[in-house]
């Protein structure tokens, strides 16, 4: 086997080699080369200690970053390519199911490979020596199997992040997980609670983006989902006695997620969380039909909490909350409805498009006999929104032809002003040609009368 190495990688290897330190490519890049996947970073391992490595590089020729140096990692940037070089190491004992208590540098590549998580990640490559594969990673790649280096249960107990990584790689690569490894996942899933939320989120994102079918059911079967998004267990076996549904709320969510292939992380997370509030909002009527009144709001609240716990950035959470809050809105393929939908999405065409795609995924996971009409409406709305995006300028509330000062001059004050502007905005979204000062003043007058009228009738009742 002969790998075509990028020029900066060859340069780094040469610098170390010339100082007497052989240097090997290790981990993901070797695996991805054998899988014929795009290689996103070249990690290297060498016998040189960090101090010895520093002596190999001329700082005028490359940039050296020493942040990982305590763990034996040096980052070298050469010709805009960033490469990590790590001293061969062994991990002695682990603590709290995550961190090695003690790391020792060693001069053996084989020991370094032995501390790595899976056979497919425990191979090295050197242009002169070819593939170094002491744990039969190449065979497992051929057979498409994720297998731990050594005893699965010991490796998971040492570091529970490996549990999430094994599942993540199996989803990304569409590999089977070896039987003993599967058993160990179920046995040791509880140690995931020792993993930082940031790392859990990182792995969950990659799982979601893998587009593997039935993701949530797989994670549930392994007993792992409860350590990622415990809120989803509210939906386990939650029946939906309704003409719209043929699945329970959890199955429905998982199937809806299956219909998000190629979509963004935001849309996928919105689908995952869109019905979280169904458990708390479920009621049964006298005919034995289930209702979930107000569930979008409950779901949005629960999602916000859950996603904050998982340390998602504020902006993503905000978008997801909007998508969930409006996922059940009634649609009509009319420009006025689309403008109102856009207003919900902060006049952001992209976000409104996401909302329609979340609604589509939701409808695709319902009873086709009843939900097909809804689905067609959503799809017609998607086409309409696309057309409007090309032809209609965005209309914000601040674009109204009159403002608060105009209303003050007419004698309005306080809360009334905001309420009237809101009403006018809705009327303008309905018919944008209304947005002239004359028409809006006329509408205000009428609105004013209506308000008086309402006040009179309500005081009479
Ligand atoms: P990718 O970057 O494509 O997600 P990767 O295999 O390169 O996959 P990294 O997190 O970049 O993953 O890790 C680089 C290598 O370090 C892995 O291939 C593996 O050999 C080793 N490794 C990473 N995390 C662990 C871990 N928790 N336990 C043991 N070895 C690990
Ligand atoms: Mg990597």
In this prediction, residue 97 has a pLDDT band, given cuts at 50, 70 and 90, of confident
Closest CA to 201 of 307, 302, 272: 307
- 393 vs 126, which has greater pLDDT? 126
pLDDT of residue 392: 87
> What global pTM score does this model have?
0.92
| Residue whose CA lies nearest to ligand 1 atom number 26 | 117
pLDDT of residue 450: 52
Q: How far is the CA of 84 from the centre of ligand 1 (A)?
A: 12
User: What is the distance of C-alpha 386 from the center of its chain?
Assistant: 25
- 379 vs 455, which has greater pLDDT? 379
The predicted-structure confidence for 105-152, as pLDDT tens digits, reads as follows 667 999 999 999 999 999 999 999 999 999 999 999 999 999 999 999
What rounded mean pLDDT belongs to the chain? 93
List residues, by chain if needed, whose CB lies under 5 Å from ion ligand 2: 28
The predicted-structure confidence for 60-93, as pLDDT tens digits, reads as follows 999 999 988 888 899 999 999 999 999 999 876 7
pLDDT of residue 461: 31
Distance separating alpha carbons of residues 115 and 272, to the nearest angstrom: 35
Q: Which residues are near ligand 1 (CB < 6 Å)? A: 27-28, 43, 116-117, 121-122, 159, 161-162
Residues 6+ apart with CB under 8 A from 285: 291
Distance separating alpha carbons of residues 214 and 228, to the nearest angstrom: 16
- Cα dihedral sign, 322-327-330-335: positive
User: Residue 295 class from Cβ within 10 Å (0-12 exposed, 13-18 middle, 19+ buried)?
Assistant: buried
Q: How far is the CA of 121 from the centre of ligand 1 (A)?
A: 7
Q: Is the pLDDT of residue 438 over 70?
A: yes
Q: How far is the CA of 198 from the centre of ligand 1 (A)?
A: 16
């Amino acid at each position: 086997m002969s790998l075509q190495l990028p020029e900066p990688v060859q340069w780094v290897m040469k610098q170390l080699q010339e100082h007497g330190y052989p240097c090997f490519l290790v981990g993901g890049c070797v695996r991805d080369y054998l899988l014929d996947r795009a290689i996103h970073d070249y990690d290297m391992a060498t016998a040189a200690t960090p101090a010895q490595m520093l002596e190999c590089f001329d700082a005028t020729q490359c940039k050296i970053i020493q942040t990982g140096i305590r763990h034996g990692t040096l980052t070298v940037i050469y010709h805009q390519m960033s490469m990590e070089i790590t001293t061969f190491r062994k991990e002695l004992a682990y603590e709290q199911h995550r961190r090695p208590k003690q790391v020792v540098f060693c001069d053996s590549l084989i020991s370094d490979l032995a501390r790595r998580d899976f056979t497919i990640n425990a191979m090295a490559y050197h242009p002169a020596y070819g593939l170094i594969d002491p744990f039969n990673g190449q065979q497992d790649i051929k057979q498409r199997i994720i297998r731990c280096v050594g005893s699965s249960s010991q490796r998971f107990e040492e570091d529970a992040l490996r549990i999430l990584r094994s599942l993540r790689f199996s989803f990304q690569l569409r590999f089977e997980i070896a039987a003993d490894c599967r058993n160990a996942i179920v046995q040791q899933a509880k140690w995931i609670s020792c993993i930082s939320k940031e790392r859990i989120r990182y792995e969950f994102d990659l799982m979601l983006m893998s587009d593997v079918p039935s993701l949530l059911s797989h994670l549930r079967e392994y007993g792992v989902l409860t350590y990622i998004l415990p809120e989803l267990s509210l939906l386990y076996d939650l029946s939906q006695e309704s003409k719209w549904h043929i699945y329970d709320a959890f199955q429905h969510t998982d199937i809806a997620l299956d219909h998000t292939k190629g979509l963004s992380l935001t849309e996928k997370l919105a689908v995952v969380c869109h019905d979280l509030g169904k458990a708390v909002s479920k009621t049964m009527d006298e005919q034995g039909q289930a209702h979930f009144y107000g569930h979008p709001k409950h779901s949005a609240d629960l999602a916000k909490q859950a996603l904050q716990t998982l340390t998602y950035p504020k902006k993503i959470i905000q978008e997801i909350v909007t998508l969930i809050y409006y996922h059940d809105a009634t649609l009509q393929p009319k420009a006025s409805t689309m403008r109102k939908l856009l207003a919900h999405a902060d006049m952001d065409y992209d976000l409104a498009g996401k909302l329609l795609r979340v609604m589509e995924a939701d409808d695709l996971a319902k009873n086709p006999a009843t939900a097909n009409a809804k689905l067609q409406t959503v799809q017609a709305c998607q086409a309409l929104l696309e057309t409007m995006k090309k032809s209609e300028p965005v209309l914000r509330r601040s674009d109204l032809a009159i403002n608060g000062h105009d209303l003050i001059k007419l004698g309005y004050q306080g809360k009334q002003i905001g309420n009237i502007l809101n009403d006018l905005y809705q009327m303008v979204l309905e018919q944008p040609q209304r947005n002239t000062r004359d028409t809006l003043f006329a509408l205000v007058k009428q609105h004013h009368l209506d308000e008086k009228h309402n006040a009179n009738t309500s005081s009479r009742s």
